[in-house]
Amino acid sequence: MDVEDNKAEEDELLTDIIFIGNPGTGKSTLMNCLVGKPLFESGLSFSGSGVTAVLQRQAVPPFRWTDTPGLSDAKMRDQAAQEITKALKAEGEGTEIRAKVFFVITVEAGRFRPVDILTMSLVLEAAPIKYFGIIINKCTKRIYNALNGDQGQEMRSLLFNELPRATRFLYAMKKMEDLEDEDNASIDLPDDFKMFIFQQPANVYRSAEVNEVKAITSEAEREFETRMADMVANFDQEKENLQRSMAQKMAVQAQQMKADKERLETEMRRNMESFKAQQENERLRAKEAHEREMANMREKMTSEKKSADMIAQMMKQMSEQQAATMKAMEKKSEREAAAMRQQMNAMKEMASRPVHVTAPPPCVVM
Ligand SMILES: Nc1nc2c(ncn2[C@@H]2O[C@H](COP(=O)(O)OP(=O)(O)O)[C@@H](O)[C@H]2O)c(=O)[nH]1
Ligand SMILES: [Mg+2]
């Protein structure tokens, strides 16, 4: 196996963290700050097409970070859509992908941008993404408060109405003045944001399950804007419908999470059982090998006419050695079992912990 193979195999074990969003929303900056290294170019773009034209991947085990180009730039739409598809498919047909997907959007003049919502919608339609985070980035104080207050519920219901699926993983990130117009800036992000990223469940799927992400068309954009305007105008009448539809979509995700958690627990339990059986097997094999060795030795010494004393002493030595080996084995086994238990508990905890949500909608039952 050469170095390339090794690398490909190692990459297969990594969980992808994929950031999707339009140019300038702050994807590269967020990822750089999370990792604490300038993995991706970030900064102001005067051409409007964003710094990233193709997807970029950086492995920092246990994760592989992926930065994608935005769909909003009219000239680059087709390419951006292809790059996002590639990002979601990861590499290698048939391999199992584990991916955490985050959309980064912003609020302009009190509204979500149509182009951001269209992007999310097109991506969710193309890929089997059950879990996804939405980072509402660069929130001004006023927007931040609105999102966390009564208006937040209304904004979310409008948002989720346009998406094929809703999500409980929403994070409103305050605008950080230190980052304004910076190139390759790096600051320490809030702890609850780090938790939001690392605790989000990953989607598990195969690349064949990912369809091509469609590019945004001007028509779709216009149509969307009209629909959105209507929705806002008729919000008071539509309010109840919107909230009901949001509750239904949220319940779907909650149900999926419950099922995934149960599957995870069963899998871990099964692993634990087979691990124990394997340990017991190894112990038995070692014991048998030792007994065989003792018998052989006794036979050899008897045929060589060694004194009874000498044989007894030799046997004693061998038994002591064996006892030490068994003890070491047991210790190792205990350590491994403890590590496994710890992992199992961590997984259990992760699956059951209420995940950070900005102003959790009351409809979510976990
Ligand atoms: N004021 C402010 N600026 C930010 C924030 N996050 C990112 N920026 C700036 O926005 C610009 C674009 O960010 P970048 O990460 O390159 O966006 P990308 O195109 O989505 O990857 C950079 O100049 C960043 O310094 C933030 O929270 N507050
Ligand atoms: Mg970027």
pLDDT digits (tens, 9 = 90+) for 209-249: 999 999 998 898 899 889 888 888 898 898 899 989 999 99
pLDDT of the residue at 182: 72
Query: Residue 234's closest CA among 174, 153, 154?
Result: 154
Ligand nearest to the CA of 104: 1
Distance between CA atoms of 124 and 216, rounded to whole angstroms? 13
Cβ 139 vs Cβ 109: under 8 Å: no
Q: Is the CB of 53 under 6 A from ligand 1?
A: no
The verdict on the CB of residue 69 being under 6 Å from ligand 1 is no
114 touches ligand 1 (CB under 6 Å): no
CA–CA dist 50, 20 (Å, integer): 13
Q: What is the pLDDT of residue 281?
A: 92
Q: In Å, how far are 128, 277, 291, 358 from 284, measured between CA atoms? A: 46, 11, 11, 54
Query: In Å, how far are 146, 157, 179, 306 from 257, measured between CA atoms?
Result: 28, 21, 35, 70
- Which pLDDT score is estimated for 289? 92
The predicted structure's pLDDT at residue 360: 35
Contacts of 238 (CB under 8 A, 6+ apart): 231
Pocket test for ligand 1, best of 35, 104, 119, 179 (most atoms within 8 A of CB): 179
Which two tokens mark 197? 């990223």
- Placement of tokens 């304004």 in the chain: 180
- CB of 27 shorter than 6 A to ligand 1: yes
Residue nearest to atom 13 of ligand 1 (CA): 26
CA of 7 to the centre of ligand 2 (A): 25
Ion ligand 2: residues, CB < 5 A: 28, 51-52
Mean pLDDT split into 10-residue runs, the chain, 366 residues: 52 84 91 90 58 83 90 82 92 78 93 91 95 95 89 88 92 87 78 87 90 92 89 88 91 87 82 86 92 90 86 90 90 84 65 41 27
Looking at residue 101, what is its pLDDT?
A: 96
In the structure encoding, which two tokens stand for residue 330, read together? 């047991």
CB 185 near ligand 1, within 6 Å:
yes
pTM: 0.78
Integer Cα distance of 206 and 235 in angstroms = 39
Q: Given this model, what pLDDT does residue 348 score? A: 61
- The alpha carbons of the chain give a radius of gyration, in whole angstroms, of 28
29 lines ligand 1 (CB under 6 A): yes
Task: Evaluate: CB of 4 within 6 angstroms of ligand 1.
Answer: no
pLDDT at 274: 87
